[in-house]
Amino acid sequence: MLAFSIYDFSTLTKSIHESLLSTFSPGWTMTIEWTIIGLILILFAAIAVLILVYVERKVAAFFQLRLGPNRVGPYGIFQTVADFIKLLMKEHITSKNADKFLFNLAPFIIVTAALLGIGAIPFALGLHVFDINIGLFYLTAVSSVGVLGILIGGWAGNNKYSLIGALRSGAQIVSYELSITLSLLVIVVLVGSLQLSDIIASQENGWWIFKGHISAWIAFVIFMIAGTAETNRGPFDLAEAESELTAGFHTEYSGIKFAMFFLAEYLSLFIITSIGAIVFFGGWMPFHIGSWEAFNNIMDYIPPIVWFFSKVSALIGLIMWFKWTFPRLRIDQLLNLEWKYLLPINLFNLILVSFIVLMGWYF
């Protein structure tokens, strides 16, 4: 009954839609579809985070010449499941002078922000929840809403370490949001559209990292630096800074509320790397070289969803490599890097790419 193709998911979604319409009224169909999509996204987020935490611990271990988790299940693959069950059963501690309402609100804000971003990501051809014409703008906007949760959580805990962590995080996001947006604008100038499906379709004859040459490379490097800062990961994890601020903004949180911050951190990592993969590496678009028909056809045999997730994994690996190599920056070094280096280079790069587009010097 259900048509299914690994290459084009729109046949599957269309057949689900039609079979629902044949049974229910259009209003109910919409409600059921929204519920299904919501459930799938939440489930996907939970599973993706479980896998990411495991991978992070394993990768960290290899960088430090350790073995990492290897007791729970083969190669320790059930370690994060065990950790999650442990976190579910822990007590919720709210300190006496905390602002109770904001304290409980912060984890939801930060998780909601992360899930909002997941919704707009095209995972494969036809596997895209909503394709709005300002997709890239929307993604950068919601990915920085998370800092609101960090600020509220740091404030509400009534703890000096949390507050310092939250303030640092605020300064960091305000600065690096500029860089991340300007570096994405470089590609937007090349594509001429903010819609994610347009951005992906424009890379059918080659990814922008190759087609856009020098300005795309500069933009990609800046995007990776700013993206790492945006996700509050090392070497930009000043908001947590275990050695200085115990655990930074989530010092006062325990149990499942802490797990929500954890979830949001890894989800935002996934979103940032997805944006990188979509904008610079063509999202689910297979590796195509201009007019080499035979080569392009061979590449098309690998399903788009595999392309998307392998690109995202490669970028996640790169960001993990950063985290376990570089020492943490001081707050003044962090702001220096942004305002004295990344921003001027970015603005110059934007002028450069405008000139390139004007002269048509790209493929």
Partner 1 sequence: MNEVAKYFSGIAQGVKTLLTGMKITGYYFSHARTEIITQQYPNNRDTLKMFDRFRGVVEMPHDENNEHACTGCQACEIACPNGSIEILWERVVDPETGKKKKTIDKHVYHFSMCTLCNLCIIACPTDAIKMGQGFEYSVFDRKQLTQVLNNPGSKVRADVKD
Tokens, residue 69:
């988790």
Q: Taking the complex as a whole, how short is the minimal distance between the CB of residue 228 and partner 1, in angstroms?
A: 12
Nearer to partner 1, 292 or 321 (CB): 321
Q: Taking the complex as a whole, how short is the minimal distance between the CB of residue 322 and partner 1, in angstroms?
A: 8
Q: Rounded to whole angstroms, how far apart are CA atoms 144 and 52? A: 21
Q: Taking the complex as a whole, how short is the minimal distance between the CB of residue 259 and partner 1, in angstroms?
A: 28
Q: Rounded to whole angstroms, how far apart are CA atoms 200 and 207? A: 9
Instruction: Kindly give the interhelix angle for 213-230 and 343-359, rounded to the nearest 10 degrees.
Output: 150
Q: Are 140 and 184 in contact (CB under 8 A)?
A: yes
Nearer to partner 1, 136 or 219 (CB): 219
Nearer to partner 1, 7 or 324 (CB): 324
Q: Rounded to whole angstroms, how far apart are CA atoms 264 and 101? A: 20
Residue ranges that bind partner 1, judged by CB under 8 A: 59, 61-67, 321-322, 324-326, 341
Give the closest residue to 152 by CA, choosing from 167, 171, 134.
167
Cβ atoms within 10 Å of 130's Cβ, excluding its own:
10
Q: Taking the complex as a whole, how short is the minimal distance between the CB of residue 324 and partner 1, in angstroms?
A: 6
Nearer to partner 1, 183 or 251 (CB): 183
Q: For 320-345, give the DSSP string.
A: HHHHTTSPPPPHHHHHHIIIIIIHHH
Nearer to partner 1, 228 or 251 (CB): 228
Nearer to partner 1, 66 or 160 (CB): 66
Dihedral of CA 15/16/18/22: which sign?
positive
